[in-house]
Amino acid sequence: MKEARYAFGGDEHVFVEVDEEMSLEAFFKSLAITNAVRDSQIKGVTEICPANASFQIKFDPDVIKPDDMLAELKKLEAAAEKAEPRLQTRIIEVPVYYQDPWTHETLMRFRERHQDPNGTDLEYAARINGYGSVADFIAAHSGSPWFVSMVGFVAGLPFLYQMVERERQIQVPKYLRPRTDTPKLTVGYGGCFSCIYSVRGAGGYQMFGITPMPIFDPQQQLNYLSDFMVFFKPGDIVKFQPIDADAYSAAVEEVAADRYVPRIKEVTFALDAFNADIDGYNRKLEEALHAN
């Protein structure tokens, strides 16, 4: 990998582009450096934000001079190069009702902002990615696990990176013009990233379905969000599980009664072993998810 590119964002931010293009290698390096920044407790650092293939540090230039901040980060980059790309993390099952009525209603409402006004987002995504049918496309989207490579845009929204060879990765453009509305908990897609809209609002990603599982709870009333209001963190692994309308309604009721508990298992992820046998590694992750 190339050396990272450093740039100041005004007098209070350093922006570091680990790589222009997305890859798990770039994500792991970004995560390693941001973890090192957290551990080093540099005085004056106020926010540490890892992203897909880059990261950003917010700092107080009255405490640490911008050039000194830059020098500290470059030192940590050199150390992070040697870090083993290995992660203690968790795999989470996220149920998805693909082709649901709510995202369908919304995508029809904003059809004139879409590349293909005569189809649906799923039909368009399936076609341009070479899938014979929407069902095949859904099988691909839910067939492999995904890495949470960034949390942000709005509160608690995860960006998800597909854990397959680049040739097999799904890619779709964003809407031609962003929508002013997206249902809460829509499973979306833009560029090479899937996402889950944590709140209702504007959005430009294609809409594939909806999950009944809340991922942001500012009131912290749900059992699995009582410790913290945001569910995802970078490094989490997600497996989508297609569900039908009845299963969706049942899950919504479970959530309303606060009986819903997401399926979560602790796992170790090693990038080298993953790269050596991607499908085999993903099978093992899925076995771990369903082990009792």
List residues near other proteins by CB under 8 A: 7-13, 15, 17, 19-23, 46-56, 58, 61-62, 66, 150-157, 159, 166, 173-174, 190-193, 198-199, 201, 216, 218, 229-230, 233
By C-beta, is 137 or 232 nearer to other proteins? 232
User: Is 141 within 8 Å of 121 (Cβ atoms)?
Assistant: no
User: Is 53 within 8 Å of 19 (Cβ atoms)?
Assistant: yes
Helix (H, G, I), strand (E, B) or coil at 6: strand
Taking each helix axis from N to C end, the angle separating 24-40 and 66-81, rounded to the nearest 10 degrees, works out to 120
By C-beta, is 97 or 208 nearer to other proteins? 208
Residue in this structure with the two tokens 């369903």, named with its chain if needed:
290
- Minimum Å distance from CB 292 to other proteins? 31
The burial of 166, by beta-carbon neighbours within 10 Å (0-12 exposed, 13-18 middle, 19 or more buried), is given as: exposed
Q: How many CB atoms within 10 Å of residue 164?
A: 17
- Minimum Å distance from CB 40 to other proteins? 16
- Minimum Å distance from CB 217 to other proteins? 10
- Minimum Å distance from CB 50 to other proteins? 7
CB under 8 Å to 46, separation ≥6 — which residues? 58, 59, 60
By C-beta, is 29 or 97 nearer to other proteins? 29
- Minimum Å distance from CB 152 to other proteins? 4
Retrieve residue 162's tokens: 């597909």
By C-beta, is 119 or 191 nearer to other proteins? 191
- Minimum Å distance from CB 64 to other proteins? 12
- Minimum Å distance from CB 287 to other proteins? 29
Helix (H, G, I), strand (E, B) or coil at 91: strand
By C-beta, is 104 or 184 nearer to other proteins? 184
Task: Report the C-alpha gap between 70 and 8 in whole angstroms.
Answer: 9
CA terminus-to-terminus distance, the chain: 39
User: Is 150 within 8 Å of 52 (Cβ atoms)?
Assistant: yes
By C-beta, is 51 or 138 nearer to other proteins? 51
- Minimum Å distance from CB 147 to other proteins? 12
User: Is 243 within 8 Å of 260 (Cβ atoms)?
Assistant: no
Task: Provide the strand spans (E) within 145-191.
Answer: 146-151, 158-162, 186-190
By C-beta, is 50 or 212 nearer to other proteins? 50
CB under 8 Å to 235, separation ≥6 — which residues? 31, 87, 89, 147, 148, 269
Query: In sequence order, what are the beta bridge partners of 171?
Result: none
